[in-house]
Amino acid sequence: MADQERIHTRLQNIRSVEPILGALRTISLGSWQAALNRQLRIRRYREQLVSLLPAVLARLGRRRRWWWRRPRPLAPTVLLVIGSERGLCGAFNNNLALLVQKRLAEYEAQGIEVELHALGKRIVRLLQRQGTPIAWAKSLPTTALPGRGLAAELIDVWMARYEAYELDAVDLVYHAYLNSTLYRPVMMRILPPTFAIDANVALPWPPPYIDTDPVSLYTHIIQLATTTELYRILLDSAAAEHSARYQLMEGATQNSKRLIDELTLTLQSMRQQAITAEMQELAAGAGLVGEH
C-alpha cells in the first residue's frame, strides 16, 4: 500500500510539471524562430549598407580616413562574452566560460591588457564563481530578444574610446547558431571593423548623388554597419540559446510522457493485484475455494 501511494504521488507530480515543460518548449520555439527571422533581415540590411561604401570611397579619393588602421599606442582590449539570462539551456554558459578562460590565458601570454565584459546573468555568475574579474556586466532581456538599442549603446561607447586611443580592440565570445541541433562557441573581432570591399567593383551609372560631407557619411556608414553586425551576433546567440532550451524541453517532455505511461501501467497493475488478492480472501472466507 505504501508503494502504491508513493507511485501515485510521483505520478501526480510529473503530471503537474508536464504543462510547464510544454509551455517552456513553446516559448523557446517562438523565440528561436523570431531570432532567426530577424537575423535574416538584419544581414540583408547590413549588406545594403556595405554596398554603399565603394561609391562613398570614390568621392573621398585621397581623403579616405582609414582611422581604424592607423598606428595606435598600447591600450586595453575588451573581451565581451554573450551568455544567457536564464538557465535550462544545458552546457550553454559552461562552454562559453571555457573559451573565455582559454582566451584570457592567450592574452596574458601575449602581454595584452584585457577588460572582460559580460552580457547575461548566468554567465556572469559562472565567471564570478570561477574567480574571474569582470570589468562590466549587463543583463539581457528575459521575456524578449535583445534589442538594437543595446548594440548601438555598446558600439557608441567602444568607438568613442577607440578614437580617444583608450581602446585597442574589441573581441566577442558567443555561441554561433549552426542548425536546429548544433551551435558552437566562437570568438571574433568586431573592432576595429573590417569590410570586404572590392576595389575593382563597377560603380553604378550615373553615379549616386551624395549631398553631404563624404567623410562624415563614410564614418556614419562604418558605425551603422558595425552596430548592425553586433546586433546580428546578439540575435545569433539568442537563436543558439533558445534552440538549446527547446531541445532540452522537448526531451524532458518526451521523458515525462514516458514516465507517466510507465507509472500509470505500474499503478494499474498494483491495483489489479490488490483487487485480485482481496477477491481471493473473500472467496476463501465464504468457503468457495480451499485455503492453501
State residue 212's pLDDT score: 81
Give every residue of the chain whose pLDDT is below 50, as ranges. Answer: 66, 292
- How far apart, in Å, do the first and last CA atoms of the chain sit? 23
Alpha-carbon gap, residue 183 to 212, rounded angstroms: 43
State residue 172's pLDDT score: 98
State residue 97's pLDDT score: 96
Contact call for residues 104 and 81 (beta carbons, < 8 A): no
Q: Does residue 137 belong to any structural domain of this protein?
A: yes
Q: Write out the residue range of the structural domain in which residue 66 sits.
A: 27-196+210-244
Q: At what angle do helices 2-51 and 53-60 cross, to 10 degrees?
A: 40
Q: Does residue 5 belong to any structural domain of this protein?
A: no
State residue 204's pLDDT score: 66
State residue 61's pLDDT score: 66
Chain-centroid distance of CA 157 in Å reads: 22
Distances (CA, A) of 108 to 94, 115, 137, 159, 207: 21, 12, 21, 24, 49
Strand order in the sheet with 136-138: 136-138, 114-119, 77-82, 169-179, 182-191
What DSSP string runs through 3-62? Answer: HHHHHHHHHHHHHHHHHHHHHHHHHHHHHHHHHHHHHHHHHHHHHHHHHTHHHHHHHHGG
Q: Does residue 276 belong to any structural domain of this protein?
A: no
Q: Does residue 266 belong to any structural domain of this protein?
A: no
What letters, b where the CB count within 10 A reaches 16 and e where it falls short, cover 231-265?
A: bbbbbbbbbbbbbbbbbbbbebbeebeeeeeebee
Domain count, the chain: 1
State residue 14's pLDDT score: 79
- DSSP symbol at 256: H
State residue 291's pLDDT score: 52
State residue 213's pLDDT score: 83
Alpha-carbon gap, residue 78 to 112, rounded angstroms: 10
Q: Does residue 11 belong to any structural domain of this protein?
A: no
Cell of 12: 501526480
What letters, b where the CB count within 10 A reaches 16 and e where it falls short, cover 104-141?
A: beebeeeebebbbbbbbbbbbebbeeeebeeeebeebe
Instruction: Give the CATH number for residue 77.
Output: 3.40.1380.10
Alpha-carbon gap, residue 111 to 192, rounded angstroms: 19
State residue 22's pLDDT score: 84
How do 77-82 and 114-119 pair as beta strands?
Answer: parallel
Q: Does residue 19 belong to any structural domain of this protein?
A: no
* pLDDT digits 0-9 by tens, 110-161: 999 999 999 999 999 999 999 999 999 999 998 889 999 999 999 999 999 9
C-alpha dihedral (204, 209, 213, 214), degrees to nearest 10: 0
Greatest Cα-to-Cα distance within the chain, rounded to the nearest angstrom: 114
Q: Does residue 16 belong to any structural domain of this protein?
A: no
Q: Under 8 Å CB-to-CB from 69, ≥6 apart: which residues?
A: 192
Alpha-carbon gap, residue 45 to 168, rounded angstroms: 28
Q: Does residue 47 belong to any structural domain of this protein?
A: yes
State residue 280's pLDDT score: 74
Alpha-carbon gap, residue 12 to 17, rounded angstroms: 9
Q: pTM score, two decimals?
A: 0.83
Region class of 201: left (phi > 0), else alpha (psi between -120 and 50), else beta: beta
